[in-house]
Amino acid sequence: MAQQISITIDGKTIQLPVLEASEGNNVVDVRSLIAEGVYTYDPGFLSTSACDSAVTYIDGDAGVLMYRGYPIDQLAKQSNHLEVCYLLLNRELPNQAQYDNFAASIKSHQTIDQQFRQIFNGFTQGAHPMSMIGSAIAGLASLYHEETDITNAEHRILTAHRLIAKIPTLAAMAFKHGKGEAFVEPDASLSYAENFLNMCFGTAGQPSSVSPTIAKAMDRIFLLHADHEQNASTSTVRMAGSTDCNPYAAISAGVSALWGPAHGGANEAVLNMLNEIGDESRVEEFVNKAKDKADPFKLMGFGHRVYKNFDPRATVMQESCHAVLAEKGADNDPLLKVAQRLEKIAREDDYFISRKLYPNIDFYSGITLKAVGIPTELFTVIFTLGRMPGWLTHWSELMSAPYKIARPRQLYHGESKRDYTDITSR
């Protein structure tokens, strides 16, 4: 028997159907309310489902994250980022032939057009790489405008492969431009993560000297960031995509949303915060600032809209973090000591416990990326690189079924009607 709820408005009772989920919360379908002239109100969308999706499932209380039904800890231990890209886009894990064909397709699209790469010359050397990345992704539409028919499934797949393939190259170009160094071309003989690291830290014409441990840690960072259901940037991609814009425009909108320190910019903000704290002796001072309502300071890397016990990605990230620090001989890194003391205090303080504020993925990814030698300003670019398959999968999911343009309503508290007066009489 299909469930429903009743609500009574101005003496009239309305039945609202309850739609059943395959995992997690069922939802109340409020679409019929508009016919009654009634809006719902939920700024920040804390209890609003914006779509019907089959990509990723999160149980925030249980600390569960599954990509297409596969638990994140299993994928992190047994899979790799490219295989997860295939899984997200195609709903199933690939067999060997499917994986090899997918990997070959990605490798075939890794280069950046010689004329197009001039875009970086428009930026000063101090420019933040996220501004370069966002502009470059939007700019790719100018190169591929013949193949952006959003109703053409082949164009959608081609665009997804192009962006998954090109985002490491664009990210490395932004990094090299920022340092005033020559670009290192993509190397199809290297793995996805090794190729990215070589383009960032290698020298043109020289063989790769990337450590396998570091490459594995970077691949795991990409994989852990690959998708996260309807987070702010993915919802932005869906909202932009609902206007029928080209996929490069929709994805570049997601890049802009991710940049914020409350979202993907948090990993960079974590390092800036740890540097500002500077020493274990100052941790309590900053914890008290975070608890002070009069102080806008928040502990970057703590808290999450959905996870209320622990972020399963942070657990895996913490393991990678220690492996990288051990290899780099940096497990005595002063910033790690500050981070560990910060985590200990926050986990024991009632302010954080009562608000269910725990370290999220950004808390450990920042420290790991620093240990790998990634400059802080590139952290969110790496989040962008990891999240690319998730954005593309959600955009493709939206494009693959009928949809309406996203156009929320509002609770209006502005002026009532009043007549215009000439400036001479004001």
User: Which residues participate in catalysis according to the annotation?
Assistant: 263, 304, 362
Tokens of 115: 């004329």
Dihedrals phi, psi of 331, to nearest 5 degrees: -70, 0
Compute the least distance from the CB of residue 289 to ligand SDX, in Å: 9
Considering only CA atoms, which of 241, 267, 230 is closest in space to residue 375?
Answer: 267
Q: In Å, what is the CA distance from 135 to each residue of 121, 140, 335, 390?
A: 12, 9, 33, 20
The H-or-E segment that residue 355 falls in is none
State which residue, 79 or 110, has the beta carbon closest to ligand SDX: 79
The residue with its CB nearest to ligand SDX is 303
The rounded distance, in Å, linking the Cα atoms of 7 and 181 is: 64
Considering only CA atoms, which of 114, 89, 95 is closest in space to residue 164?
Answer: 89
Site for ligand SDX in 353-382 (CB under 6 A): 355, 357, 360, 362
Residue 308 interacts with ligand SDX (CB under 6 A): yes or no:
no
Q: Which of 168, 303, 312, 389 binds ligand SDX (CB under 6 A)?
A: 303
Residue 347 interacts with ligand SDX (CB under 6 A): yes or no:
no
State which residue, 74 or 288, has the beta carbon closest to ligand SDX: 288
Residue 391 interacts with ligand SDX (CB under 6 A): yes or no:
no
Question: Where does this chain touch ligand SDX (CB under 6 A) — which range of 95-103, 186-194, 237-245, 257-265?
Answer: 257-265
Dihedrals phi, psi of 278, to nearest 5 degrees: 80, -40
Residue 174 interacts with ligand SDX (CB under 6 A): yes or no:
no
State the number of binding residues for ligand SDX (CB under 6 A).
Answer: 20
Q: Which of 86, 192, 302, 395 binds ligand SDX (CB under 6 A)?
A: 302
State which residue, 34 or 262, has the beta carbon closest to ligand SDX: 262
Question: Where does this chain touch ligand SDX (CB under 6 A) — which range of 17-25, 249-257, 259-267, 409-417?
Answer: 259-267
State which residue, 36 or 276, has the beta carbon closest to ligand SDX: 276
Q: How far is CA 183 from the centre of its chain?
A: 26
On whether the CB atoms of residues 140 and 132 are closer than 8 A, the answer is no
Question: Where does this chain touch ligand SDX (CB under 6 A) — which range of 7-15, 198-206, 244-252, 297-305?
Answer: 297-305
Residue 304 interacts with ligand SDX (CB under 6 A): yes or no:
yes
State which residue, 112 or 171, has the beta carbon closest to ligand SDX: 171
- Tokens 């190397």 sit at which residue? 187
Residue 262 interacts with ligand SDX (CB under 6 A): yes or no:
yes
Residue 72 interacts with ligand SDX (CB under 6 A): yes or no:
no
How many other C-beta atoms can be found within 10 angstroms of the C-beta atom of residue 251?
Answer: 30
- Tokens 């941790």 sit at which residue? 283
How many other C-beta atoms can be found within 10 angstroms of the C-beta atom of residue 326?
Answer: 12
* Helix, strand, coil tally for the chain in percent (to 5): 55, 5, 40
Compute the least distance from the CB of residue 263 to ligand SDX, in Å: 4
The rounded distance, in Å, linking the Cα atoms of 252 and 224 is: 21
Three-state DSSP state, 18: strand
Binding site for ligand SDX (CB under 6 A): 228, 231, 262-264, 266, 290, 298-306, 355, 357, 360, 362
